Amino acid sequence: MKVIAYSIKPFEKEFLARANQKKHDITLISNPLDLETAAFAEGKDAVVIFTNDDASAPVINKLADLGVKYISTRSTGTDHIDQLVAQKRGIKIANVPVYSPQAIAEHTIALVLALDRKLIVATDHGRNFNFRNDELIGFNLHGKTVGIIGMGHIGLATAAIFKGFGCKVIGFDINPKTEHDHVPLIELKQLLAESDIISLHAPLTNETRGMINRSTIAQMKDGVMIINTARGGLIKTIDIINALESGKIGYLGLDVYEFEKGLFFEDHLDDNQKDDLMKKLIDNPNVLVTPHQAYLTKEALQEIANQTIINLDLWRKEQIASEEFTGDKDYLKKLTPIGKLPKQNTHLLP
């Protein structure tokens, strides 16, 4: 299969090469996908993208005009893809259903501990040989109530770690399931009112977009800690900045940002004009922002690469079937539908 992969970082190449084993003809480029760079997909069967690539309707229409039949995203979320237009144009979509939820969960805890124990402030002081303990008082996690919003694989992995600290963990999910590893599911209003720490792990949908806003913040405890390692659009940034300034929110840890597109994954040190809202966030001593790096472990990168190649393998299977077995409808039914990919990733390493 001929493929072009957009927004490839240097550190991704070895993982994709190890997973691919030269099975597919993949062109790796650092350019993000947009209306202009879509032209690079001419003559390709599939494109591989990432969360900050532009897979809006105009771009998908251009890809379809160029003959692209498949889009695989190196992420679990697909909110950056106009799926309705893709369906209309006959383009199939695949994601990475699950990849090392522990990577995201552990980064969540890292943000919590760094904020709680003032690790950034202490480190900055220490570099100047200031070893006073002033302004470094934190709090015990043991005994605190942690509310997990989004009880999927990552939410459950995060809950397990918080339990290890001796926290009381409660959960909310828009689409609740029956089993949640003994984490009680409650209504969102109750979770907001009871939680000392709120950790977001929900996908970005029409229902969840902006769910952390002036109204829901008002229902929270004073001084609450909020952590978001899911999607930036879950939080209305201007509302959370106001709550930080008033003291309603005591701590904020972000690995994602509502307006991160075009900002994260790149160096903007020399930009003449900086993002005003981001500047307000990072200037606040009770805020810690990391650049969408929660997924960035060796294990997660390999699982993402493996599942991406599996997606291409399955599509290639479909291609062969349609070319060689066009009259055998029963054979086509035996192929694994893309929408039913295995929940656990298969490792292709030797």
Q: What is the CA radius of gyration of the chain?
A: 22
Smallest CA-to-CA distance from 142 within 165, 118, 109 is with 165
What fold is seen in the domain 101-289? Rossmann fold (3.40.50)
* pLDDT tens-place string over residues 20-67: 999 999 999 999 999 999 999 999 999 999 999 999 999 999 999 999
pLDDT at 345: 32
Judged on CB neighbours under 10 Å (0-12, 13-18, 19+), 134 is exposed
pLDDT at 318: 86
92 DSSP β-pair partners? 70
pLDDT at 339 over 60: no
Task: Report residue 179's pLDDT band, with 50, 70 and 90 as the boundaries.
Answer: low
* pLDDT tens-place string over residues 72-110: 999 998 999 999 999 999 999 999 998 899 999 999 999
The answer to whether residue 231 is catalytic is yes
CATH class, range 2-99+297-340:
alpha beta
- What are the φ/ψ torsions at residue 11 (nearest 5 degrees)? -75, -15
Identify the active-site residue in 231, 258, 303, 318: 231
The answer to whether residue 316 is catalytic is no
Identify the active-site residue in 24, 153, 180, 292: 292
Mean pLDDT of the chain: 91
- State whether residue 216 is helix, strand or coil: helix
Judged on CB neighbours under 10 Å (0-12, 13-18, 19+), 112 is buried
Residue with tokens 């202490």: 122
pLDDT at 159 over 60: yes
Mean pLDDT along residues 275-294: 96
pLDDT at 319: 84
The answer to whether residue 194 is catalytic is no
Task: Report residue 120's pLDDT band, with 50, 70 and 90 as the boundaries.
Answer: very high
Smallest CA-to-CA distance from 249 within 237, 233, 259 is with 237
Task: Report residue 325's pLDDT band, with 50, 70 and 90 as the boundaries.
Answer: low
Task: Report residue 346's pLDDT band, with 50, 70 and 90 as the boundaries.
Answer: very low
Return residue ranges of the chain for CATH 3.40.50.720: 2-99+297-340, 101-289
The pair of structure tokens assigned to 184 is 């009680």
Which positions ≥6 away from 242 have C-beta within 8 Å?
Answer: 214
CA distance 329 to 97: 28
* pLDDT tens-place string over residues 130-158: 999 998 999 999 999 999 999 999 999 99
Identify the active-site residue in 12, 260, 303, 318: 260
Task: Report residue 327's pLDDT band, with 50, 70 and 90 as the boundaries.
Answer: low
CA distance 152 to 253: 20
The pair of structure tokens assigned to 295 is 């997924």
